[in-house]
């Protein structure tokens, strides 16, 4: 598989996180395996500069969904 750009990498990661949120991926271990199987972007650290308002909003919604399942 060819090396990805940061934008391509980010889109794949977001897709996997959304699949997990919507229960298409059932287990955290499965999600982590899929993320680890993705090749890192061409240049630099894949996590530098990726935090956005969308990331924080997703995290807040994700926490709310997980908490409602626990209750």
pLDDT at residue 15 above 90?
A: yes
Q: Where are the domains of the chain?
A: 6-70
Element (H, E) at 55: helix 53-70
pLDDT at 16: 95
pLDDT at 39: 83
pLDDT at 54: 58
Can you tell me the distance from the alpha carbon of 56 to that of 11, in angstroms, rounded to the nearest whole number? 16
pLDDT at 5: 81
Structure tokens at 10: 């980010």
pLDDT at residue 9 above 80?
A: yes
């Amino acid at each position: 598989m060819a090396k990805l750009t940061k934008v391509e990498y980010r889109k794949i990661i977001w897709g996997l996180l959304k699949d997990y949120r919507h229960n298409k991926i059932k287990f955290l271990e499965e999600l982590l395996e899929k993320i680890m199987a993705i090749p890192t972007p061409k240049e630099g650290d894949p996590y530098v500069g990726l935090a956005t308002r969308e990331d924080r909003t997703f995290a807040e919604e994700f926490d709310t969904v997980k908490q409602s399942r626990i209750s």
